[in-house]
Amino acid sequence: MLKSIRILMTTLAICTLCQVVLFAQSQEPFPIDFFYKKGKGFGMVTKDSIFSINYQFRMQNRATFNSIDNSDLGLQSAEFRVRRLRMKFEGFVHDPRLTYYIQLSFSRGDMDFRVNDNSAINNSPNVIRDAVIYYALTKNIRLGFGQTKLPGNRQRIISSGDQQFIDRSIVNATFNIDRDFGFFGQYTSKFINLKGALTSGEGRNSNLSPNSGLAYTGRIEFLPLGKFTGNNDYIEGDLAREPKPKVSLGITASQNDNAVRQAGQLGNDLFDSRTINTFETDLLIKYNGFAWYSEYMERSTNNPVTVNPANSTSIRTVFAGQGYMSQLSYLLKSNIEIAGRYAATQPAKTLYENLTYPALNERKTETVELVLTKYIVAHRLKIQSGIMHTTISEMISPLNTTQFWSGSFQIELGI
């Protein structure tokens, strides 16, 4: 894997160098302008506007500690790792309306595959996160083709580098529809945004042979008070300190026909395909350093249990159910932010009260978090620390619970 990464990085470096040399040799003395934008990376653009590239990298170094239980704060486990290491390239080719976006991931925990699952669909390191081509038909309409994030819940679409907590909520981790390959389209205006996608349904870098099941995703956003400052509606926290109140209400619906993974675009392989429906709605309000964000997500299918045909005691399920989370934050003038969040996920009744498979006992999970963030260069350089309390309850016997505390420290550095 390391050899493949070295080859990939060497190839990217050589290609970029060759482009510079070719442009330099083919035209008047060095027809390229180099630029650097604070928090936006560095790059180059040809003076005849036929090519541009913007480069960014970022890493998240994290330490997490978990207590033994709710009352015993002794160390149960500790985790030290590079949570994310990303490189991003974007720009245009031949025409400023024809753009590209490439994002690569290199940390072991950021490649979305499990060695012990022996998945037939995603069984190798997934270095490529995004590889998509866009064409702007008009100022308000843009079409895309390739692999990138589906227009799902807002917290999933927001970059992990622009989060105000140590990580996204358990609601997002359980129900989000993630990335996929296919066709994308969006329309943006002052008061409404429309987004849609027609995709494979198997997630990124799938090894699956073509099948008839596709995924259909649509999202609508209402902005009754007009647009946010810049892209402040897709950055967590109110770093722009909105001078006037801003509101965005988003609704997403997705249907994944004949899905072969437990969460559609994510998860282990199912023993039989299922059509999975996902509904998501979220609300964002920002004003003068305050930010409040809430979301509700729901997943359903006709039968969430699939059985191994070679072993009837071996089953795999779709986690059908609901999740809700709400988070509130305030940014002090010193660029220190205080943020709190409550999140809960709850399985559907068929996953904890099933007469055919009585061993099924999916549980309800709740978390309460408090995070302190110091922004040094907005989201590109920040230091975060937080505590979280987790409660895992049986649905039939709510008194049978597991509770514990977690503490985390993270530094994010990027350009």
State the chain's mean pLDDT as an integer. Answer: 90
pLDDT score of 376 more than 90? yes
| Least confident interval from 14-18, 111-115, 343-347 | 14-18
pLDDT, tens digit (0-9, with 9 covering 90-100), for 157-209: 999 999 999 999 999 999 999 999 999 999 999 999 999 999 999 998 877 66
- Domain match, 10 and 118 both: no
Q: 255 near 288, Cβ under 8 Å?
A: no
Q: 154 near 284, Cβ under 8 Å?
A: yes
- Domain match, 186 and 268 both: yes
- Domain match, 91 and 2 both: no
Q: Are strands 290-301 and 321-331 parallel, antiparallel or unpaired?
A: antiparallel
The rounded distance, in Å, linking the Cα atoms of 123 and 119 is: 5
- Domain match, 15 and 107 both: no
* First CA to last CA distance, the chain: 26
Q: Domain range for residue 234?
A: 31-414
The confidence score (pLDDT) of residue 39 equals 79
Closest CA to 285 of 337, 232, 342, 219: 232
pLDDT, tens digit (0-9, with 9 covering 90-100), for 20-52: 554 455 445 558 888 888 878 999 999 888 999
- Domain match, 17 and 139 both: no
Number of independent structural domains in the chain: 2
- Domain match, 13 and 144 both: no
- Domain match, 374 and 246 both: yes
- The gap from C-alpha 283 to its chain's centroid, in whole angstroms, comes to 17
| Greater pLDDT, 207 or 75 | 75
- Domain match, 176 and 126 both: yes
The CA-CA-CA angle for residues 88, 219, 364, to 5°, reads 90
- Domain match, 48 and 163 both: yes
Radius of gyration of the chain (CA): 23
- CA 384 vs CA 29, 272, 338, 378: distances in Å: 46, 42, 10, 12
- Domain match, 349 and 264 both: yes
The confidence score (pLDDT) of residue 23 equals 47
pLDDT, tens digit (0-9, with 9 covering 90-100), for 256-293: 999 999 999 998 889 999 999 999 999 999 999 999 99
The rounded distance, in Å, linking the Cα atoms of 257 and 270 is: 13
- Domain match, 273 and 365 both: yes
pLDDT score of 139 more than 90? yes
- Domain match, 216 and 262 both: yes
